[in-house]
Homo-oligomer: A and B are copies of this chain.
Amino acid sequence: MKKRVILILLCCSFFMQNIWSQEALDKYNLMPWPKEIEDNTAKFMIDSNVTISIMGENHPRVRNAAINFLRRLANRTGVFIDNGFPLKEVSASIEINYNTISNLTVNDDESYTLVVKEDKVIIDAISDVGALRGMETLLQLVSYNEDNYFFQGVTIKDAPRFVWRGLMIDVARHFQPVDVLKRNLDAMASVKLNVFHWHLTDDQGFRVESKVYPRLQEIAADGLFYTQEQIRDVVAYASNLGIRVIPEFDVPGHASAILAAYPELGSKDDYDYKVERFAGVFDPTLDPSKKITYLFLETLFREIAPLFPDEYFHIGGDENEGKHWNENAEIQEFKKKHNLKTNHDLQTYFNIRLEKILKKLGKKLMGWDEILTPSIPTTAVIHSWRGEHEGLEQSTLIEAAQKGYQAVLSAGYYIDRMLSVEHHYLVDPIGDAVLSKEERKRILGAEATMWSELVTPLTIDSRIWPRTAAIAERYWSPKNTNDLIHMRKRLKVINYQLEELGINHIRNKDVILRNISKNEDTKPLRILSKICEPLKIYSRNKGGTEYKSFSPFTLFADACTADAEDAIEFNNVVSLFIKNDNKENLNAVNNFLTLWAENHIDFIKINNNPNTQLLEPLSKNLSNTSKLFLTILSNKKITLTEFNNLKALLTNLEEPFMDTELAILSSLKNLLTYCKANYLIQ
């Protein structure tokens, strides 16, 4: 048996590629990539005789995971496994060993070792959650040849880099039913994420049933909220997957919905508080000078906190611009009386009172980084979200840790900004910061954030996945696991495997395109959608069309995703061609150009309604551009007229089409520059 240690070396990715053979990198499609991996050539056959035994305490979490493991294995391979349930204390072909039951805290041990031999698989872990992580790795080792399915032989020793690896889902801007959360929890577990941050309230809705304050669900939710039993169900479901749940109740700002239900808590008298339908930052804010505000929050938290067993409790605290505070004489009076100079000081006063309320309930206060003010006690947990984009030179993460606060990073992981997977993958939470051991320990980890202004249950999966799988690797794997080509290759496999967990990111594209085409052939739309990306960094939601919560999200932009797949490939072949204009590279470019040149013929056939009409200029301009390039590349000649025509066409293509941008534009420009430089007839 051939063995080779694949070392995780403390070196840059360039160096790594030189040490790891391509063969080793090619063999395993693991994500997150493990800490230590030693390959071997064994093949453990997956046939009807596969059995699982759970040694030690047969806790529901591992039993449930083992049953789901068997179901997923059967469904992925089509193998009829005789024994559909785990055996207890009996030696089986897959043995799972662990000693402790995790309480799901930041101190959990999630490490495991996994050995796959010819006739035996052994997973050893300290805790049950470690065993779960090992089972997910094993499922990623399923491979096949023409005759068999098998687990690839391997020895893995694995443990996470960060203890807090989260995904935040905003269910306020667009409500996400329990089934959406459950399938995303399944997907999170499959890539070893362990924190679900549940953004439950915002201007656009308060999504939790309160028996004490029923107007919250009656007035502030449009009928879209979770009952307390549903919350318990989601928390239990997450716990079964080894995922902690952190609820967020965003106060004192982002409070339009709360104030629609209980206007007496507001900072501005006689203001017409309403559930907000638009996206943005709004004025309605709780009044921190009133006793009833604290009475309300203490009573509410007392009712709701027990639904969430986790110690951490997020109170938001972001984006309060204090407009209504400034306009309220009593609040100004209150500030003076308490010697609070600024609105920040007033908010800190508010936060400190909340911190005490939460402490009584056994909770740690966590908030967005606006809460990081000099007087906030170090028991608070800082959630860094602002970065370069918000005018900061760097996030507050390192600063918070150095000042003694536990901290979690989200700056750089705002997946709703619709940036490429590379963008997020290359953000390292710590970077080059030099930290003491204690400071390093305070950096708990990071979270991807899925704000939901522009997503519905139909589209949310395609905004979270597959990018979040790569982000999960950033949080779990060693810092030097950062080779983009290797990541892309593995992500492609993980991407389609996510479908088995019910993630709709791939399948729902066609649903939207079928609706746009009115059940005509979706191919011409699919071809366009593979090179268009939704407008990035919130530019879709400003100027022109302003989206409301009930606007349609079944548009062309909703069928498109970040990392448009053909665009990646085309951009690649164009840069290869420009470096080396040999026949092979030319052909690769021509294949795409031909596809787009001819696509318009099919497009015209389905151009039968207002939505396809709006896409027609894109299809037509792209076709004309492609045809012209084909001629030029074939003739190896470009006239000045042709050059100017192409330039004009590319200018047209620069405009957004139905809230998308053409992701091949810069490559087309580069191609034009190349043609001008090499083929221009003066």
Contacts and interface: CB of A to CB of B under 8 A. Distances in A.
Interface of A: 64, 70-71, 74-81, 84, 144-149, 177-179, 223, 227, 229, 233, 277, 457, 492-493, 496, 499-500, 502, 504, 506-508, 510-511, 514-516, 518-519, 545, 548-555, 607-611, 613
Contact of A508 (B145, B507, B555): B507
Contacts of A508: 507
11 contacts: A71-B550, A80-B552, A84-B548, A144-B518, A146-B608, A147-B613, A457-B502, A492-B519, A496-B514, A506-B510, A507-B507
B613 A146 contact: yes
A75 B510 contact: no
A514 B519 contact: no
Contacts of A518: 144
A519 B496 contact: yes
Contacts of A545: 80
B147 A75 contact: no
Nearest to A144: B609
Contacts of A613: 146-147
Contact of A78 (B71, B178, B507, B554): B554
A522 B377 CA distance: 58
Given A75-B554, A147-B610, A506-B510, 10 more contacts: A75-B515, A79-B552, A80-B545, A144-B610, A146-B607, A147-B613, A149-B610, A179-B179, A457-B502, A510-B510
Contacts of A74: 550-552
Given A514-B506, A609-B144, A64 B223 contact: yes
A75 B553 contact: yes
A321 to B, nearest CB: 27
A612 B179 CA distance: 32
Select the residue from A75, A77, A148 with max chain B CB neighbours within 10 A. Answer: A75
A81 B227 CA distance: 30
Given A71-B550, A493-B519, A511-B499, A610 B76 contact: no
A653 B420 CA distance: 48
Number of copies: 2
A522 B551 CA distance: 34
Contacts of A144: 518, 608-610
A101 B516 CA distance: 37
Contacts of A84: 277, 548-550
A609 B77 CA distance: 9
A515 B500 contact: yes
Contact of A145 (B78, B511, B609): B609
A310 B401 CA distance: 60
A664 B47 CA distance: 34
Nearest to A229: B229
Contacts of A514: 496, 499, 506
Contact of A149 (B71, B147, B609): B609
A551 B80 contact: yes
Contact of A146 (B81, B507, B610): B610
A392 B549 CA distance: 56
A610 B142 CA distance: 13
Contacts of A149: 609-610
A506 to B, nearest CB: 7
Nearest to A515: B76
Which 4 interchain pairs have the tightest Cβ spacing?
A84-B550, A179-B179, A507-B507, A496-B519
A525 to B, nearest CB: 13
A496 B504 CA distance: 17
A548 B552 CA distance: 43
A431 B506 CA distance: 46
Residue of A70, A552, A613 contacting most chain B CB atoms (<10 Å): A552
Given A499-B511, A514-B496, A78 B611 contact: yes
A496 B607 CA distance: 18
A82 to B, nearest CB: 9
Contacts of A148: 610
Nearest to A492: B519
Contacts of A500: 515
A504 to B, nearest CB: 8
Nearest to A240: B223
Contacts of A507: 504, 507-508, 510-511
A26 B457 CA distance: 34
Contacts of A554: 75-76, 78
A183 B77 CA distance: 28
B511 A146 contact: no
A23 B637 CA distance: 55
Give the interface centre of A457, A516, A554 by most chain B CB atoms within 10 Å. Answer: A554
A462 to B, nearest CB: 13
Contacts of A178: 178-179
Give the interface centre of A71, A227, A506, A609 by most chain B CB atoms within 10 Å: A609
Contacts of A493: 519
A502 B511 CA distance: 10
A277 to B, nearest CB: 7
A505 B552 CA distance: 23
B550 A70 contact: yes
A89 B499 CA distance: 46
Contacts of A555: 78
A492 B550 CA distance: 28
Contacts of A510: 506-507, 510
A191 B150 CA distance: 46
A80 B541 CA distance: 13
B552 A78 contact: yes
A555 B71 CA distance: 14
Contacts of A492: 519
A535 B502 CA distance: 26
A327 B251 CA distance: 69
Considering residues A147, A511, A555, which has the most beta carbons from chain B within 10 angstroms of its beta carbon?
Answer: A511
Contacts of A504: 507
A540 B422 CA distance: 47
A555 B78 CA distance: 6
A176 to B, nearest CB: 12
Contacts of A177: 179
